[in-house]
Chain A
Amino acid sequence: GQNIDQPTEMTATEGAIVQINCTYQTSGFNGLFWYQQHAGEAPTFLSYNVLDGLEEKGRFSSFLSRSKGYSYLLLKELQMKDSASYLCAVRDQVFQKLVFGTGTRLLVSP
């Protein structure tokens, strides 16, 4: 079966750092993706991990541990525009479907 868990909601203040965790149990694994989704809009790609370790991309970093079935997305220097849902998704085979978690709604306050 496919199971991807994320916290439902998180809050943080502008300028702070927040870590959004994701745990997964899937039948196959060919990469873990993080997408950002503003309300009523399409998901937009943030980051990708297929090997263990940290990938850094500006204010955003993502970490993967395949043995633990665990990933996190780290957002630094939070801005108000970072208020959105953050979706963890696993690709089970190359070029195939993404299996999404329920998403974590992040609210950034002044």
Chain B
Amino acid sequence: EPEVTQTPSHQVTQMGQEVILRCVPISNHLYFYWYRQILGQKVEFLVSFYNNEISEKSEIFDDQFSVERPDGSNFTLKIRSTKLEDSAMYFCASSQGWSSGTNEQFFGPGTRLTVL
């Protein structure tokens, strides 16, 4: 069964450093998303991406964050200068984007980011 994959599974970084989180969405999906979940809290939307551009972003997704689809398979989230409060589990998700049907979002296993 096709699945969303993410690397690395765990990233430890120093405050102020840049990190890039990588995702490979399901191959025939058209919509891509990043969410984060701070330990013990709810899953929060960061950004959605379609047709090589951001379609929606939350107030969390400030100038320190960027997304890119550098080739036909990868989808990346970059945090330019990490802060302690960026420590969280980051989930990538994708959905088919068909005009009918459930269009549920399939989530990857997550990258646990720890900022020291």
Cβ B109 vs Cβ A41 within 8 A = yes
Q: For A40, what are the chain B residues with a Cβ–Cβ distance below 8 Å? A: 89
Interface majority SS (helix, strand, loop, mixed), chain B: strand
| A53-104 at interface with B (beta carbon < 8 Å) | 87, 89, 94-103
Residue of A nearest to B99 (CB): A94
Q: CA–CA, A85 to B95, complex, Å? A: 22
Residue contact B108 to A98, C-beta cutoff 8 Å: no
The count of residues in chain B whose C-beta lies closer than 8 Å to any C-beta of chain A is 27
Which residue of B35, B106, B108, B109 is within 8 Å of A45 (Cβ)? B106
Residues from chain B with a CB closer than 8 A to the CB of A43 are 43, 91, 107
* Interface positions of A (Cβ within 8 A of B): 31, 33, 35, 40-45, 48, 87, 89, 94-103
Extra A-B contacts (14), CB below 8 Å, given A40-B89, A48-B104, A89-B43: A31-B102, A33-B104, A42-B107, A43-B91, A45-B104, A48-B102, A95-B55, A95-B97, A95-B103, A96-B56, A97-B45, A98-B35, A98-B105, A101-B42
